[in-house]
């Protein structure tokens, strides 16, 4: 097909804040103890997420479960951060449950200023929201402090608003070095990681010689634990240069980090369960996405944690029975970063045009993302695993100039027999044929539309066909990067 007409709209997107305000959460933060004190109503604001947002839209958000989650339903980069940022205005706590600084979430404040977050939950721009980094996250302290310093420098207060689990594992600079060594070792079969040390940090955790945040409170034993960890790395990678000077320097660094981190450290498992008992509203922000899940993704081209629904409970220490609505975020097309199978990938000029139209470059690494048509088979697989109550379809505006749009609706073996679900066998994935359904494009700018009924008929047909194929309603539709560029359906 001819996609040469696809262009970028340079018009800036105006944004504004939501008029609905939940009760203000007042708290005291006494070093390691976090105490909820009282709830007081606040005056309503004259600002709104979108000027045309109806009370029905706000009721939809208000009807979400006490503990709700936002999870990726492709290979990541779907735009989860924006939805979390918007929903955070109606929740008391936003919590990260897994992953590390390999998760890049881009959000915009009410003035349209861009923030790229990696470890700090995307609720940080909402001044009344407490942000929790749970036990399932691996934390690179230099990166965390850099992120906090950047937020503070831009007028976003972080004091008393970020808590880090004392059970979370530390990710050290040498984990990043090991990540690169591991990729080099794999040669042409490399995974395509962000080289942020995520996999090696989780490996240390699973090897049971990792170092946790709580270990920073015992600097008398910290050097020996760090020595054991570095010695283990040296035995595995002979090219890794470990010296006594390295150990001494790292210990001194972490003495300073420990002092600075102390006000942020908390027993977040206790906090989360106390908050649930006190009827606080909690929004869980997933990193990466289901197709990168260590169990359900395109293994071994996956991340090292569980970004699907199961990771919520293990990564925060909360019971499955308290988890309610889960919103799956899905791009109107499909992208992935790094190596691995990609059945609906568009190669050549078509993929390039889509990449530049959607600005598909990694938030964390800047790497160009591979682009393709929406893979309905993979999306349905993710919906089944997570039990999504609804979907957020993002970047629908990026498809606006296409004369026609394809949906990958089924997989078939080379002999033409159907493949029933998303297969684990990578050889099969690389050989199978995708059956496409072609829908008409709408070829008009939809970035200023805020009501579903105002979308072109072809755009509505595309949305409703996706709903029909996966069996999950689409309640949120993104038509631009700004906070207000969201249609509630």
**For residue 292, how many C-alpha atoms fall within 13 Å in the half-sphere facing its CB?**
30
- 77 belongs to the catalytic site: yes
Q: Which residues are annotated as a binding site?
A: 76-82, 102-106, 194, 208, 288, 303, 363-369, 395-397, 478-480
Other beta carbons less than 10 A from residue 160's beta carbon:
13
Question: Following CA atoms 14, 76, 366, 370 in sequence, which dihedral angle do they give, to the nearest 10 degrees?
Answer: -110
Mark whether 105 is an active-site residue.
yes
- Which residues are 342's β-sheet partners? none
**3-class SS of residue 170:** strand
Q: What angle do CA 70, 76, 81 make, to 5 degrees?
A: 45
Work out the number of other CB atoms within 10 angstroms of the CB of residue 423: 18
Report how far Cα 440 is from the mean position of its chain's Cα atoms.
31
Tokens 């929201």, residue? 129
Q: Point out the catalytic residue in the list 90, 92, 105, 401.
A: 105
Catalytic residue among 140, 169, 205, 406: 205
Given its phi and psi angles, is residue 25 left (phi above 0), alpha (psi -120 to 50 degrees) or beta? Answer: beta
Q: For residue 268, what are the contacts with CB-CB under 8 A and spacing of at least 6?
A: 95, 132, 133, 134, 135, 163, 164, 165, 166, 167, 316, 317
- Separation between Cα atoms, residue 159 and residue 260, nearest integer Å: 12
Cα distance between residue 249 and residue 263, in whole Å: 23
* Helix (H) / strand (E) containing 320: none
Name the DSSP class of 442: -
Neighbouring C-alpha atoms within 13 Å toward the C-beta of 265: 19
Nearest to residue 20, comparing CAs of 128, 157, 158, 114? 128
Residue ranges for the binding site for IMP?
77-80, 102-105, 194, 208, 288, 303, 367
User: What is the rounded CA–CA span in Å between residue 38 and residue 28?
Assistant: 10
Enzyme catalytic residues: 77, 105, 205
């Amino acid at each position: 097909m001819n996609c040469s007409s696809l262009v970028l709209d340079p018009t800036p997107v105006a944004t504004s804040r939501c008029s609905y305000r939940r009760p203000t959460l007042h708290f005291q933060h006494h070093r390691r103890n976090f105490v909820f004190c009282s709830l007081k109503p606040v005056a309503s604001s004259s600002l709104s997420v979108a000027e045309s947002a109806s009370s029905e839209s706000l009721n939809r958000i208000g009807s979400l479960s006490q503990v709700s989650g936002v999870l990726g339903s492709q290979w990541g980069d779907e735009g989860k951060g924006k939805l979390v940022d918007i929903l955070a205005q109606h929740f008391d706590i936003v919590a990260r449950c897994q992953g590390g600084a390999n998760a890049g979430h881009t959000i915009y404040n009410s003035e349209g200023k861009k923030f790229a977050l990696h470890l700090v939950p995307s609720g940080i721009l909402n001044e009344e929201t407490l942000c929790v980094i749970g036990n399932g996250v691996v934390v690179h302290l230099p990166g965390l402090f850099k992120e906090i310093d950047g937020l503070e420098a831009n007028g976003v207060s972080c004091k008393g608003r970020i808590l880090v689990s004392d059970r979370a594992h530390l990710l050290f600079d040498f984990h990043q070095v090991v990540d690169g060594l591991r990729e080099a070792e794999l040669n042409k079969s490399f995974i395509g990681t962000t080289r942020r040390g995520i996999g090696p940090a989780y490996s240390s955790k699973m090897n049971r010689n990792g170092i946790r945040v709580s270990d920073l409170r015992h600097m008398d034993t910290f050097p020996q634990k760090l020595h054991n960890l570095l010695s283990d790395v040296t035995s595995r990678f002979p090219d890794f240069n470990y010296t006594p000077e390295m150990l001494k320097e790292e210990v001194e660094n972490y003495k300073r980090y420990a002092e600075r981190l102390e006000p942020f450290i908390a027993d977040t498992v206790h906090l989360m369960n106390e908050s649930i008992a006190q009827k606080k509203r909690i929004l869980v922000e997933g990193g990466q996405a289901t197709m990168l899940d260590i169990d359900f993704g395109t293994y071994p081209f996956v991340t090292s944690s569980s970004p699907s629904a199961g990771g919520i409970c293990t990564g925060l220490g909360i019971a499955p029975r308290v988890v309610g609505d889960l919103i799956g975020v899905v791009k109107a097309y499909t992208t992935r970063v790094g190596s691995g199978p990609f059945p609906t990938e568009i190669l050549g000029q078509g993929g390039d045009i889509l990449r530049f139209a959607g600005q598909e470059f990694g938030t964390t690494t800047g790497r160009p993302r591979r682009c393709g048509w929406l893979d309905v088979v993979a999306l349905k697989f993710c919906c089944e695993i997570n039990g999504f109550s609804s979907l957020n379809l993002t970047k629908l505006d990026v498809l606006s100039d296409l004369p026609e749009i394809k949906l990958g609706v089924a997989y078939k073996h080379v002999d033409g027999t159907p493949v029933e679900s998303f297969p684990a066998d990578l050889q099969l994935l690389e050989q199978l044929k995708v059956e496409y359904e072609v829908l008409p494009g709408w070829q008009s700018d939809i970035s200023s539309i805020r009501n579903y009924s105002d979308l072109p008929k072809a755009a509505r047909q595309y949305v409703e066909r996706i709903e029909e194929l996966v069996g999950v309603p689409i309640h949120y539709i993104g038509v631009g990067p700004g906070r207000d560029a969201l249609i509630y359906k």
